Structure 1
Amino acid sequence: MISRLFLALNAIATGLIALAYLYDPNLLLARYGLETGSPGMDNMLRSTYGGLYLVLAALFATGVFVAKRRRDALIFLLLFMGGNAIGRTASIVFAGMPPQSIMPLLAYEVVVAVVAGILAVRSQSRDKQGVQSGQ
């Protein structure tokens, strides 16, 4: 139940981010004191944060409704958020500190990645117990 709720919350959050970027990339960027400067950048943001995030939200939602895919969705959530955290950390190392308003995103990504990893491991342990007991 916890895994389903966790995936549902992340599917909703990721889906809302996707829809906002598809509608207007500057909508969320302005919150962080950023803005796009060209149609090309708008295109990149709509593609990555819009289209790709929308598909990821659907993948996380699949884990909510399809028990056989729950662990896969948790692992993908771990990889997705972990990858975002790695990218932000690399940016800090190579480009310096971003505006402080962006730092909570890094914290959120690390926490979600860790929780997704824990839930995926717990899910695997339960699956093995079910197989061993003949279920």
Structure 2
Amino acid sequence: MRRYSEAVKADVRRRMSPPHRQSVAQISAELGIHVVTLYNWRKTWRLQGEVVPASEKDPEGWGATDKFTVVLETAGLNATELSAYCRERGLYPEQVERWRQASQDANENLVLTLTEQKDLDRRHQQDQREIKQL
């Protein structure tokens, strides 16, 4: 198994991250690193909370995990710091604000307690029995 230096890994991470967002296939072809190795590195970085989108898509096409990571990373930044963060990653502050709002809105939905869920399931079963009898 071939070992790669931290400098090579840092270069790959830079290429995968915004604003470059090169595909795994493109990086593999350019650097001669097997695609499985690149996917494993990307998975590790994402698990560490780094923004390494799974595609070359425009940031609006990113998955929820990447968008939420950006929201978390920018939560304590002032306007100047947010602008610098966005410039480095090819984002707009307005996008980050929309993603922040979407994250907040997602948590507005009520979550049922275990007791409420059991009660709902019980009523659903009763309804199903009544429907079957009819």
Same fold (TM over 0.5): no
Larger radius of gyration: 2
**TM-score normalised over the length of structure 2:** 0.31
> What TM-score, normalized by structure 1, do the two folds share?
0.31
